[in-house]
Structure 1
Amino acid sequence: MAQQVFINLPVHDVQKSQSFYQALGWSSNPDFTDENAAAIVISDTIHVMLLSHDHFRRFTPKAIADTTTTAAAIHALSVEAPELIDDLLDKALEAGAEEGAPQDYGFMRSRAFNDPDGHPWEVMWMDPIAATGDWEAVQAKYPQAPVE
């Protein structure tokens, strides 16, 4: 079995957050969803657990960050083609997300949004040639790319 990633997010309103993430095209797993939590399935290996603040506190003694004013983490999700960035961002914005700053280096492109609780997400695509680390090939294909 492949390793799985579970991103646990404290949210003010589980149902509102669940509806937001479903509007992105992601599904909920009803086996792990109730009034305290919603299990969002992004893929077979990536899941987001939306937890009410009271429920989230059961897992950590730390204070919950106010993500409307503080960045605790940026959750980055890759897509297979650059046009899929815009597809997902359009859905997020239509569902009420706040758009963040885009980035475009030619070989890597991203757009960002904040969910209803202020959790930042980045949707990104990277040309497979860049993933190899062959910066000479990247520079040849994308001469405007910054040199690492």
Structure 2
Amino acid sequence: MDEIEILLVEDNPADLELTLRALKKNNIANKVQVAEDGEVALDFLFGQGQFADRNTDNKPKVVLLDLKLPKVDGLEVLRIIKADPKTQAIPVVVLTTSKQESDIIESYRLGVNSYIVKPVDFEKFVESVKELGMYWLLMNQPPM
């Protein structure tokens, strides 16, 4: 399997399609793994379930994480990622519609790298995703 650059964790089909379109429009969609709930995201990261044969040394460069997810919610996914030495260095960007102060505070307490509220306007959203991709995939220097 090719190296995955972005793990996109999103359960809303419309938001998923918008995000993928925005990534494509900015030429950063070729190495995206989609997880439609928190359980699939964790299985992917830790090489469990349907991803049991995946080489977990190939970590995504960034996780784009919605908070409102079925099975395992986004805050729990974030807590597990940041608590495990194998995954804690992976940058996690919360990309959500939630403007709740409690979600923002808890996300940062758990170690999120960035918290972005999804713009409603598609062009603004495309621009936000472009900036996200440019920063996390090209400019950010992760630990080796």
Task: Report the TM-score, using the length of structure 1 for normalisation.
Answer: 0.31
State the TM-score, normalizing by the size of structure 2. Answer: 0.32
Between Structure 1 and Structure 2, which shows a larger proportion of helix residues?
2
Q: Name whichever structure is richer in strand by fraction.
A: 1
Q: Comparing both chains, which one has the higher relative contact order based on Cα–Cα distances under 8 Å and sequence gaps of 6 or more?
A: 2
